[in-house]
Amino acid sequence: MQFVASPLRQQFVATPLRRGGYEVATTPPKCEVKPEVTNVAPKNQKISDDSLRGSSLVAISALTTAQIATILKTGGAMQELVTTQGADESLKGKILASVFYEPSTRTNCSFQAAMMRLGGNVIAVNESSSSVAKGETLSDTVRCLETYCDVVVLRHPRSGAAAEAAAAMSKPLLNAGDGVGEHPSQALLDLYTIVDELTGGRGSVAVAAASEESLAAALKGKVVTMVGDLKNGRTVHSLAKLLGRFDVTLLFVSPMSLRMPAEVVAIAARDGSSHTEHEMLTESILKETDILYVTRVQKERFESVEEYDKVKDAFIITPDTLAMMRPDARVMHPLPRVGEIDPACDSDPRAAYFRQMANGMYVRMALLRLVLG
């Protein structure tokens, strides 16, 4: 077995938690999969396969595969729109309320840019500028805000907050990340990027996602390796659940203390996708990987700096790492990165994370167009 050395730090890319660390393929403990809190549509209506109009997006599992294909196909159309004419006025007169109780650059800005590209307007609220500082509940906040807008985009540090807020509203709410729970729009833009990168790029996803069948064919047999903080990373939680419905092999690579939650693994596996768990990122894993999805170790989720320091540099991707991957493989990251990908990798054409970031606006334009009609 060969470990991948990082010349910058004279260490393994995947640092074991104990001496004599080794690659481990495990079967997660059986876990009862509880029903997920899913999308909350106005008047408690279930989201239909043919329309997202007026629906909230709280959890990725509530979307049908047909809806996912529609979102990706519409995202391709939005990319073409931005490339050829910059913007349109399809949502003129509509207002988005951006409500972010945690710091955000890409998600917040891309949602706002998406709304403005479609001719709409934005009002922005954060924790310091809202009445939450006076003790107002989240439910009261969103009930007030929906009287001023047509859709609310919510980022909150507490898992389950998006479902709570959506249940209090009659207008659509889009979950922009709730604690360690989910980040459904990120999962959609990640899937958009995976399909686009593996089918030639330059908007080819619009063709690949023309139907459920063509989307499934584009993903068939692919190997997606998720690396890093899988315990706290809401992006990988949503993406694993989303990819689980396709014929994709999932490899979960993390320190033992940051393993993918058993409930997420069980949901990802219930549709028949195969998966294994590993403590080491080995050369054999890299050679079979189509998509290497890297995540940062989330310092803000740790109870102490000491616990964070034990695992913060467990996985570092360097040019030497990329040298062991296939020429057609890709490296993705939801960003921000804090050292887990050496900037020297950025010039490699397989580094897709900045293209992935750009795709976020197209997919969020698609969501807004479909939800607001």
pTM: 0.84
The percent of residues above 70 in pLDDT, for the chain, comes to 81
pLDDT of amino acid 47:
46
Domain residue ranges of the chain, discontinuous segments joined by +: 7-30+184-358, 42-183+360-372
Kindly state the tokens that stand for 240.
């694993």
Nearest Cα residue to 67 out of 212, 272, 240: 212
pLDDT of amino acid 27:
40
Kindly state the tokens that stand for 142.
């969103």
Q: Tokens 């080819």: give the residue.
A: 204
Dist. CA 148–CA 125, nearest whole Å: 12
Residue 75 and residue 359 in contact, taking contact as beta carbons nearer than 8 Å = yes
**Based on C-alpha coordinates, what's the Rg of the chain?**
20
Kindly state the tokens that stand for 239.
């993406």
Angle of helix 184-198 versus helix 234-243 axis, rounded to 10:
60
* Bridge partner list, 223: 249
Dist. CA 373–CA 369, nearest whole Å: 6
pLDDT of amino acid 118:
98
Pairing of strands 173-178, 275-278: unpaired
Pairing of strands 291-294, 330-332: parallel
**Residues sharing a CB contact under 8 Å with residue 107, sequence separation 6 or more, in sequence order:** 155, 176, 177, 183, 185, 186, 360
Nearest Cα residue to 367 out of 107, 147, 100: 107
Q: Residue 303: is it exposed, middle or buried by C-beta count within 10 angstroms (0-12/13-18/19+)?
A: exposed
Q: Which residues are catalytic?
A: 106-107, 134, 155, 183
Half-sphere exposure of 166 (CA within 13 A, CB side): 29
Length of the chain equals 373
Q: Do the two domains 7-30+184-358 and 42-183+360-372 of this chain adopt the same fold?
A: yes
Kindly state the tokens that stand for 370.
């479909």
Half-sphere exposure of 49 (CA within 13 A, CB side): 5
> Strand, coil or helix: what is 261?
coil
| Exposure letters 57-69 (e unless 16+ CB within 10 A, then b) | bbbbbbbebebbb
> What architecture is domain 7-30+184-358?
3-Layer(aba) Sandwich (3.40)
Which H or E run includes 368?
A: helix 353-372
**Res. 276: pLDDT tops 90:** yes
Q: Residue 65: what are its φ and ψ, rounded to 5°?
A: -65, -35
Kindly state the tokens that stand for 337.
């990165």
The stretch 81-94 carries a mean pLDDT of 97
Pick the CATH number of 42-183+360-372 from 3.40.50.720, 3.30.1330.60, 1.10.3720.10, 3.40.50.1370: 3.40.50.1370
**Residues sharing a CB contact under 8 Å with residue 37, sequence separation 6 or more, in sequence order:** 58, 59, 160, 163
For the stretch 102-147, pLDDT in tens is: 889 999 999 999 999 999 999 998 766 667 666 789 999 999 999 9
CA dihedral 41, 61, 225, 344 (to 10 degrees): 0
> Strand, coil or helix: what is 6?
strand
* Range name among 44-53, 239-248, 249-258 with the lowest pLDDT average: 44-53
Residue 308: band (very low, low, confident or very high) from pLDDT cuts 50, 70, 90: low
Q: What is the mean pLDDT of the chain?
A: 85
Residue 265 and residue 304 in contact, taking contact as beta carbons nearer than 8 Å = no
DSSP 150-177: SEEEEEESSTTHHHHHHHH-SS-EEEEE
Q: Residue 11: what are its φ and ψ, rounded to 5°?
A: -145, 170
* Bridge partner list, 3: 282
pLDDT of amino acid 301:
63
* Bridge partner list, 252: 226, 277
For the stretch 152-189, pLDDT in tens is: 999 999 999 999 999 999 999 999 999 888 999 999 99
